[in-house]
Amino acid sequence: MKKIKYIAGIWILLLSVSLFSCKDDAFLKEQPSTFYTVDNAFSTSAQVDQVLVSIYSHLRDLWANPNEAGWIFVFRGNGTDMFDVASIRKGSTFNNYGLINPDHSNFYENYTTWYYVISRANLALYAAELPQIAWSSPAEKAYAVAQARFFRAFAYRSLAELFGGVPIVTDISTTPKYDYKRATRIETYQFAITELEAIEADLPEKSTIGGRLVKGACQHNLSELYLAMGTQLGVDGKAGEATAAFTKSITFASKVIDGGTYSLIKSRFGTRKSLSTISFPVYQAGNTATPVDTLKQNTNYYWDMFQEGNVNFQDGNTECIWAMQVDYAAYKAEDKSSKLPYSRTYGADFRDGVKNHLTGTLEDVGGRGIVQIMPTVYTRDAIYADKWGADMRNSDAVYRRRFKGNVATSAYFKKDVPWSEMYNGSTDATTNANNKSLCFPISCKIATDSYTGLADGENRSNLFRDDYFIRLPETILLRAEAKQRSGDKAGAAADINLLRTRAQCTYLVTAGDMDDNFNTILDERTRELVYEECRWNTLLRMGGTIAVDRIKKYAYWPEAAATLTFNYNLWPIPQTVIDTNKDQKLEQNPGWTR
């Protein structure tokens, strides 16, 4: 299958295109002129496409986080109800509000990374109109412009969800500017909506190249934008406009869900569909030379979706709307960011947590985990308690809960180590809390029984498969939320049951389950989209005290409940941004003080 090659000319990096395109105060300093200018650096349509490819590459790195940047772990959910830090990572907590303020670098990094996307999108749009650029057809140019405008809208959607109203920048700039004005949150959502509605028709229904944008990605984001805008309109007391926005959200989601291109996976498919079971060797004390036992798992079609060669729509995956591209050959040749370091960054550390029973860094313990962030007890256990437990997403192959002891002196050698031992094996409560933060079930989204590259020296840190930006179940959950916000709780329950039926759950939700704080929807998002969604975006766009209430309730460590003494549903505008925009005051978001 053809993939996007994430390689772009280094000359692009020489162009200073926006106030926010750099990651430090250097963007305030005027740069000396160089031989290249924006007008003469481009001569072919392929060079315009290189700018677009650089955005695809940036977004891949933002999701996959190959360099393990702490601020990206926050972007992906650290500090929410879903994820917290392990005991050995307490220094990188994002749940101690005695330390979190507008000066925190996580806010600045998250804010400026989206303006980096915007700056490149603006550059591509400017370059596309240069008279010397020859396009093979009007359709080729229209698609290039559509991709750039999508990326710009995507960035503003994320900024509005996280920070509220922000300055809307649509032109490239080569000189410092200190008088940016904030739009409102509604205006920022509306700008993104206008962008996407303008290019919907110029995006193809399908693409032969894995990772390239298609119409469904646009429609999915329009659904989310109208949902977010409707929620804010409701907060603003504009009930009629809110209802109209929710209707639009449902309409765009339905284009994706019912349009005939995408459908939920309900049967085995792909590269490993013939495997009804897989086996993990059990390595004594982590020694690859002496496997002493095996642990078998029964596979299923949900597991299929997270195997190498199975992620893209072009692979036969009818749930995939948009995927980042990871390629092992490119990784070996030149692109060292072409990897998913999930087994390392998200993986459990049994060798420190329950070293008397489990040790090593091999497949039997989920790979070389160092627990950069960990799933909260809510994420790993609570959402599957009682009637919620019978669920394919909770099956052993998908969310592995069985681990055989591999230490010869253990009472559980070659036997399943019970979770009571992993969670509460000590008489000391502090030790138990620390161990419990290191030991947890392993999702098939972050580990595998078959690591690529071992013969080349890889060490079970990385997966080399593509990964999802957007998968159909999230579109379904957006429509469910829009229906509930419109007053149609029965319709919302029916949409959630599309996923629960597919996951062979014994319990299907009813209208009575659709509580006004959206716990049922948020719980279902956790079951379906763990390690996929950006949870901060979800929580902050929901308004009210939902984000704060859930953080206080589900954070693993007690600092969150003790120090989170104010309500918020927006992150603060980074203080550095406020301070450097000296010619126009940027108002800080409510609740945040230095």
Counting residues of the chain whose pLDDT is more than 90, the rounded percentage is 91
Structural tokens at position 76: 């992906």
Among the listed residues 244, 219, 217, the one whose alpha carbon sits nearest the alpha carbon of residue 231 = 244
The DSSP secondary structure of 12-73, one letter per residue, reads GGG----TTSSSSGGGGSPPPP-S--HHHH--SHHHHHHHHHHHHHHHHHHHH-TT--HHHH
Q: What does DSSP assign to residue 102?
A: T
Structural tokens at position 168: 């809307």
- Backbone torsion region of residue 95, taken as left when φ is above 0, otherwise alpha when ψ lies between -120 and 50, otherwise beta: alpha
CB 64 within 8 A of CB 339: yes
Give pLDDT tens digits along the chain (594 positions): 788 877 644 344 434 343 334 444 443 344 445 566 788 889 999 999 999 999 999 999 999 999 999 999 999 999 999 999 999 999 999 999 999 999 999 999 999 999 999 999 999 999 999 999 999 999 999 999 999 999 999 999 999 999 999 999 999 987 889 999 999 999 999 999 999 999 999 999 999 999 999 999 999 999 999 999 999 999 999 999 999 999 999 999 999 999 999 999 999 999 999 999 999 999 998 888 889 999 999 999 999 999 999 999 999 999 999 999 999 999 999 999 999 999 999 999 999 999 999 999 999 999 999 999 999 999 999 999 999 999 999 999 999 999 999 999 999 999 999 999 999 999 999 999 999 999 999 999 999 999 999 999 999 999 999 999 999 999 999 999 999 999 999 999 999 999 999 999 999 999 999 999 999 999 999 999 999 999 999 999 999 999 999 999 999 999 999 999 999 999 999 999 999 999 999 999 999 975
Q: What does DSSP assign to residue 523?
A: H
Question: Is domain 1-77+98-202+536-594 given the CATH code 3.40.630.10 in the classification?
Answer: no
Q: How many angstroms separate the first and last alpha carbons of the chain?
A: 51
User: Which residues, in sequence order, are CB contacts of 485 under 8 Å at separation 6+?
Assistant: 227, 230, 231, 234, 242, 246
Handedness of CA 475, 476, 481, 483 (dihedral sign): positive
Separation of alpha carbons 135 and 146, rounded Å: 14
Q: Which long-range contacts (CB under 8 A, 24 or more apart) does 108-112 make?
A: 108/574, 108/576, 108/577, 109/23, 109/69, 109/71, 109/72, 110/71, 110/74, 110/75, 110/162, 110/571, 111/20, 111/159, 111/162, 111/163, 111/166, 111/573, 111/574, 111/577, 112/20, 112/22, 112/23, 112/574
What is the Cα Rg of the chain in Å?
Answer: 24
Among the listed residues 421, 256, 239, 402, the one whose alpha carbon sits nearest the alpha carbon of residue 322 = 256
Helix (H, G, I), strand (E, B) or coil at 281: strand
The ranges assigned to domains in the chain are 1-77+98-202+536-594, 277-304+341-463
State residue 590's pLDDT score: 95
Separation of alpha carbons 223 and 294, rounded Å: 46
Strand partners, 467: 324
State residue 20's pLDDT score: 39
Q: How many CB atoms lie within 10 A of CB 208?
A: 9
State residue 39's pLDDT score: 87
| Helices 45-64 + 138-163 axis angle, to 10 | 30
Q: Which DSSP helix (H) or strand (E) runs through 460?
A: none
Helix (H, G, I), strand (E, B) or coil at 374: strand
Q: Which DSSP helix (H) or strand (E) runs through 496?
A: helix 489-502
Separation of alpha carbons 88 and 300, rounded Å: 34
Q: Which DSSP helix (H) or strand (E) runs through 466?
A: none
Strand partners, 443: 399
- Summarize pLDDT for 157-192 with one digit per residue, the tens: 999 999 999 999 999 987 889 999 999 999 999 999
